[in-house]
Structure 1
């Protein structure tokens, strides 16, 4: 995945309204009106959010008669997750080292308490 596309995906995910829209679309396709229901924002504002999500490749939109529905496209999320995975491994390793260090300190303190 090109880093520019990755930046676009993360920028789209940075907004809580867009994340909520994606969460709703994980349950199935929805129209703009259905997606707008839980928000106190205008339909044009929801449409702008959908355009950002579509540009990031996170949703696709289709038209059936007068209805225009949106559908989640999960592949870009998988690719972003794969990119983040190496950092999760880094943090896991760092936390494991910290845990081992804290155990050594506790063991030393316990031994010092016994010697007092």
Structure 2
């Protein structure tokens, strides 16, 4: 884990990894067995489970900057209003992510019970 990067660099790096995942999975043929799907879903669940903390800390950073420096805006909006709105939207995002996490956990649970066909000769044959 390289913590010598700025928060924005780390976020961009994470976004690039998701972009790579999106490109890699353009063809469904990259998944060779159901476990690949379950493992991919598991990684995405882990990513999403970490986002609420990230958003909470983003709100904390905004509050801290509001306290220690004079924030200005370029759209004519009062800075304290902009800070309040941004904080509110981040809080909504935290709540919304929780429902996405719940749905994806359910999908992952179903995927984790799937397997490919039995290899030839491994089936229990009735005699």
TM-score (norm 1): 0.32
Instruction: Using CA pairs under 8 Å that are at least 6 residues apart, name the structure with larger relative contact order, 1 or 2.
Output: 2
Structure ranking higher in strand proportion: 1
**Structure 2 length-normalised TM:** 0.29
